[in-house]
């Protein structure tokens, strides 16, 4: 897999484009005015404003912004100030929380007391004590890493080894884990004497986090167009990942923009359009709503009266591949319902579902094929982390 990252800046927005084998795989838009407010990954001392026990939730103020919180996490929380030891959570309690999900339209941001610190090779998370290794790492190496890291198991936090670790030595992985442990301990100590609503940890700007999360496997080049943006990215890599600086290229051509060179406006237009044509004449209609995303598969120009069941399977398999790509490209998440072309043969339906599960498993963000209804609607869930592309585009144009 050949990977390349492009970064452009336009009208107060930073655009990050991940290309895989020359085709757009991810598009992220980060408005610069968002960086002054709550950012995904920021850690605060929040104050409990309200508890809705009937839905197992609390609402926590982090300084002018009320956030949703799952009260089942309170038993693992780091409290700065506690109103009562008799209850797990009370109104007025002050505790350490981290933004785990951005606000989406009318929905408030979500915070968690399971604090996560992400490095290049590993993630440390409080409230989860297991030692895990990415399923994208070969099984033999996965088992070896689990065994080697087992002495680090404790009752306070867990460790997940990321996909990038397959390119690292065990010493590099353990050094980073130790640095993450020290960072976590420092956070706990600091929280004891900081005031309510303090920001204990500022996450990197979203477009820098995007770079940190790119798989190193096959990464050939990171091309940055804007002068100030290039300097910011260069400084970030020098501090966090010095070996990445060799991949950086500063693009500066007054005759042809980076967007023009790679036809990025056309790519963006296609990623925002509801109709997506398939190679052999079929097409998808992708319609996101606030509650869920609906995807309809149509045969279009691909009509064959001979063996319609085989033709339908062929279109569906092609559609499944494109749907998996579009979910990632558009960052569609939550509940996704797909209306494939009906297959009467159960064996052919199983072929489709098996292939679709395989395609979804390659997504860096957790995507799961949940079920198939009696009407042959395929239900998929994809973890919500950041705003979908269409919503970023709408916000940009407000």
Query: What are the tens digits of pLDDT across the range 3-22?
Result: 999 999 987 789 999 999 99
For residues 108 and 124, which has the higher predicted lDDT (pLDDT)? 124
* Count of CB atoms situated within 10 Å of the CB of 172: 14
What pLDDT shows up at residue 35? 58
Mean pLDDT of the chain: 90
Residue 51 pLDDT more than 60?
yes
pLDDT of residue 33: 62
Which of helix, strand or coil describes residue 59?
strand
In sequence order, which residues have a C-beta less than 8 Å from that of residue 185 and are 6 or more positions away?
none
Integer Cα distance of 6 and 256 in angstroms:
15
Question: Can you list the alpha helix ranges (DSSP code H) found in the chain?
Answer: 139-149, 170-191, 206-212, 227-240, 258-261, 264-272, 308-330, 346-360, 389-396
* Tens digit of each residue's pLDDT (9 = 90 or more) over 160-208: 999 888 888 899 999 999 999 999 999 999 998 899 999 999 888 888 8
Q: Which pLDDT does position 219 carry in this prediction?
A: 85
Q: At what angle do helices 389-396 and 308-330 cross, to 10 degrees?
A: 50
List the domain boundaries for the chain.
3-35+204-264, 41-202, 273-390
- Tell me the mean pLDDT in the region 215-231: 88
Residue 85 has pLDDT above 90, yes or no: no
The predicted model gives 145-152 an average pLDDT of: 90
**Which alpha helices (DSSP H) does 24-99 contain, by range?**
none
Q: Given this model, what pLDDT does residue 377 score?
A: 96
pLDDT tens by residue, 236-267: 989 888 888 999 999 999 999 999 999 999 99
For position 260, what pLDDT does the model report?
93
Predicted confidence (pLDDT) per residue in 264-308, tens digit:
999 999 999 999 999 888 999 999 988 899 999 998 765 555 578
396 confidence band (pLDDT: 50, 70, 90)? low
Residue indicated by tokens 């991940």: 18
Question: Both tokens of residue 122?
Answer: 């590993």
pTM given for the model: 0.83
Q: pLDDT (tens digit, 9 = 90+) per residue, 372-388?
A: 999 999 999 999 888 89
pLDDT of residue 175: 93
**The pLDDT value given to residue 397:** 66
- What's the CATH class of domain 3-35+204-264? alpha beta
Residue with tokens 């500022």: 202
Cα-based distances in Å from 279 to 148, 189, 199, 284: 47, 57, 50, 11
Percent of the chain topping pLDDT 90: 63
Whether residue 60 is predicted with pLDDT greater than 70 in this model: the reply is yes
Q: Which residue has the tokens 């309170």?
A: 74
């Amino acid at each position: 897999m050949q990977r390349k990252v492009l970064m452009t800046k336009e009208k107060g927005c930073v655009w990050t484009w991940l290309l895989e084998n020359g085709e757009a795989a991810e598009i992220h838009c980060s408005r610069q005015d968002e960086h002054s407010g709550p950012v995904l990954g920021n850690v605060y001392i929040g104050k409990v404003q309200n508890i809705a026990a009937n839905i197992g939730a609390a609402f926590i103020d982090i300084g002018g912004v009320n956030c949703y919180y799952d009260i089942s996490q309170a038993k693992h929380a780091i409290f700065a100030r506690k109103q009562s030891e008799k209850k797990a959570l009370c109104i007025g309690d002050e505790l350490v929380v981290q933004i785990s999900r951005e606000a989406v339209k009318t929905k408030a941001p979500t915070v968690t007391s399971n604090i996560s610190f992400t490095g290049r090779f590993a993630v440390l998370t409080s409230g989860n004590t297991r030692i895990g290794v990415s399923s994208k790492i070969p099984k033999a190496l996965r088992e070896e890493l689990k065994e080697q890291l087992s002495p680090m198991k404790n009752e306070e936090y867990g460790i997940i080894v990321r996909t990038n670790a397959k390119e690292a030595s065990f010493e590099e992985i353990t050094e980073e884990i130790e640095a993450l442990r020290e960072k976590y301990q420092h956070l706990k100590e600091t929280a004891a004497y900081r005031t309510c609503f303090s920001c204990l940890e500022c996450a990197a700007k979203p477009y820098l986090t995007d770079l940190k999360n790119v798989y190193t496997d096959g990464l050939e080049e990171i091309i940055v167009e804007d002068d100030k943006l290039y300097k910011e990215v260069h400084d970030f890599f020098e501090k966090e990942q010095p070996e990445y600086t060799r991949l950086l290229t500063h693009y500066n051509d007054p005759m042809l923009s980076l967007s023009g060179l790679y036809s990025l406006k056309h790519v963006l237009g296609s990623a925002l359009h509801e109709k997506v044509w398939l190679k052999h004449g079929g097409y998808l209609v992708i319609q996101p709503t606030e509650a869920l995303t609906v995807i309809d598969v149509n045969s279009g120009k691909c009509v064959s009266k001979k063996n319609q069941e085989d033709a339908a399977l062929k279109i569906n398999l092609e559609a499944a591949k494109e749907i998996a790509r579009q979910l990632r490209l558009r960052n569609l998440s939550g509940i996704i319902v797909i209306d494939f072309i009906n297959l009467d043969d159960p064996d052919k339906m199983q072929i489709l579902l098996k292939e679709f599960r395989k395609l979804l498993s390659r997504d860096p963000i957790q995507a799961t094929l949940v079920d198939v209804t009696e009407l042959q609607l395929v239900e998929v869930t994809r973890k919500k982390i950041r705003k979908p592309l269409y919503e970023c585009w709408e916000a940009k144009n407000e």
